Amino acid sequence: MFIGLAGPTGAGKTTLAHRIAERLKAHLMRDPFVDNPYLPKLYASGKTHPVALTLQVELTFLALRVAQLREIRDLLIHGTPVVADWSMAQQVVFAHTTLPPEDASRVRKTYATWSDAGARPDLLIALTAPASVLARRIAQRGRPMEAALSIAYLEHLARAFDTPLHDYASRIIRLDTSDFNAFNDEDVNALLARLPALERS
């Protein structure tokens, strides 16, 4: 099984992916954001993102994520389940929040062109949380490049993820993490209990 996660910055994707991978004895595939040299520049640019810079960010992410999807496909072929703290839904949603509509549409079409080049999640867990919760978590983890993210931007981002995501996975679970604690075994167990039912449906 391949489980992907989607959601705004600060929703808890990495923490939850780690817990699920641990419980399912799956390979954890981390978002390659640390390998994108343009991302810190984008965050530092504040409210006005230069189009050239946002395009560099999105196209770099596309290359990094397609490469990871191919790696995931190989792991699945050899019988290794995979949990990723990202999905290609991230790619398209973020493009629509940062790029002009015509460029965001081109990113979506480019993703579609490459969609058969790697694995597609069997399940996508789509996380959400209010902007105030996202901001608190971002402050707690203290990444310097995220320091300039505003409440207004996080509200916009959270709304952007509240869209149909069925193009990106066979099954979808939506999860509000404002009242979900990924460090609480009962919460994680309740989520995992929903997986077999999805596999049989």
Q: Residue 91: give its domain's CATH number.
A: 3.40.50.300
- Predicted confidence at residue 185, as pLDDT, reads 93
| Regions of the chain where pLDDT drops below 70 | 46-48, 196-201
Q: Is 137 left (phi over 0), alpha (psi -120 to 50) or beta?
A: alpha
The DSSP line for 31-94 is -GGGG-TTHHHHHHTTT---HHHHHHHHHHHHHHHHHHHHHHHHHHHTT--EEES--HHHHHHH
Query: Per the structure, how many domains does the chain have?
Result: 1
Model pTM score: 0.89
- Predicted confidence at residue 197, as pLDDT, reads 58
Look up the domain containing 40 and give its range: 2-200
- Predicted confidence at residue 164, as pLDDT, reads 84
- Predicted confidence at residue 145, as pLDDT, reads 79
- Predicted confidence at residue 122, as pLDDT, reads 92
- Predicted confidence at residue 173, as pLDDT, reads 93
Residues noted as catalytic: 85
Per DSSP, what are the bridge partners of residue 83?
A: 3, 28
- Predicted confidence at residue 46, as pLDDT, reads 65
- Predicted confidence at residue 201, as pLDDT, reads 39
